Amino acid sequence: MSDRTLVRVLKGESVFPPPVWMLRQAGRYLPEYRETRARAGGFLDLCYNPDFAVEVTLQPIERYGFDASIVFSDILVVPHALGRDLTFVQGEGPRMTPMEAGDVARLDDSAFHERLAPVYETVRRLRGALPEKTALIGFCGAPWTVATYMIAGRGTPDQAPARLFGYRHREAFLALLDRLADCSADYLSRQIEAGADAVQIFDTWSGVLDDACFAAYCERPVRKMVERLRARHGDIPIVGFPKGAGARFSRYRAATGVTALGLDWAVPLDQARALQAEGAVQGNLDPQRLVAGGAALDEGVDAILAALGDGPLVFNLGHGVTPETPPEHVARMVERVRAAGGRR
């Protein structure tokens, strides 16, 4: 594990050209993924069937040879394993019954790991199927982001339902975040035991919070998760991705103790360089540059490598690859990153 390039970089080593992978690299932009999903049936059938989940996780590795693979699943399997209902509507996303304050105490973790056993089996199979040099990343959603879907029952533009819930029912909301932090840390721990080399915590909606709520809802629960993981797994690399954190990225790393920071595409490269002086960073190409291709893609890749290539960098997108991305543009991006050493 320690010899895999991604692991070394996440722990602070500088490697050029940097390792490269993509958020949502197994997904709808690939025709082979669409074919597998059609065979699987519903989205959750794909997530909970190790045969299909392994197949789609390996597809981008086989096509592009990324330096890391991230297990195919979804952040909402955690509340689903706590007994909340969950469906996915084609073209619209997840649907859950919205939570009320009294529902927090009724969350049921009695079969939590049993319900998530297919994910752990997928991780075990992947570690045996991946090339030896390819790192395997486990993941979960951060408590705040997962809670926003649980409370609203769906994604919303600014997560106003969850923010209002937190103001009106603070005690219940903090209890929900604590419960999610404990269960999510245990979920990541099982992924590590199954073979994950590193884990990533996605806080997609951290950018909608004010300062006090960012500390209480994003930093505090993730710190709890990191401490739980460190007690069990030592220096396992933990990537925190508080999308939209802006000026708070540095304090987020210090407050949570994550090993590395995932950066969204809006983070200026001079800020990214300052953050890199504190530890590894990951990102942060605008996914729309990947859709556009051509000069827009090349210029974006080159700017990131020029600004961050001398420090610990994992080259990635600033958020997930979008369904309309041409697969040949992904190949061009990977080739340009890997050919950068010859252009120096």
Residue with tokens 């722990």: 11
Measured between its terminal Cα atoms, the distance across the chain in Å is: 29
The answer to whether position 7 is within a domain reads no
Percent pLDDT > 90 in the chain is: 96
Q: How confident is the model at residue 92 (pLDDT cuts 50, 70, 90)?
A: confident
Number of independent structural domains in the chain:
1
Task: Report the 3 state secondary structure along 123-149.
Answer: HHHHHHHCCCCCEEEEEEECHHHHHHH
74 catalytically annotated: yes
Has residue 301 been placed in a domain?
A: no
The dihedral built from the CA positions of residue 225, 228, 232 and 234, taken in this order, carries a sign that is: positive
| Active-site residue (options: 4, 33, 48, 74) | 74
On whether residue 203 sits in a domain, the answer given is: yes
| 179 carries an active-site annotation | no
- 224 found inside a domain: yes
Task: Based on the residue annotation, tell me whether 28 is a catalytic residue of this protein.
Answer: yes
67 catalytic residue (yes or no)? no
**115 is a catalytic site residue:** no
Read off the pLDDT of residues 217-244 as tens digits, 9 standing for 90 and up.
999 999 999 999 999 999 999 999 999 9
Q: In the chain, what percentage of residues exceed pLDDT 70?
A: 99
At 11-46, the pLDDT tens digits run 999 999 999 999 999 999 999 999 999 999 889 999
Mean pLDDT, the chain, integer: 97
Which member of 120, 149, 187, 217 is catalytic?
Answer: 149
- Candidate list 8, 24, 220, 253, residue with the active-site label: 24
Domain for residue 317, yes or no?
no
Examine residue 158 and state whether it is found in any structural domain, yes or no.
Answer: yes
What's the predicted TM-score (pTM) here? Answer: 0.97
Lowest mean pLDDT segment, chosen from 38-42, 83-87, 147-151? 38-42
CATH code for position 273: 3.20.20.210
Q: Which of 251, 287, 252, 294 is nearest to 266 (CA)?
A: 287
Is residue 87 domain-resident? yes
- Residue of 37, 95, 115, 124 marked active site: 37
Under the banding of pLDDT at 50, 70 and 90, the label for residue 90 is confident
Q: H or E element: which one contains 84?
A: none
For residue range 258-309, list pLDDT tens digits in order.
999 999 999 999 999 999 999 999 999 999 999 999 999 999 999 999 999 9
Segments in 65-195 forming alpha helices (H): 77-81, 112-115, 117-129, 143-152, 160-168, 170-194
Confidence of residue 91 (pLDDT cuts 50, 70, 90): confident
Residue-range definition of the domain harbouring residue 242 = 20-284
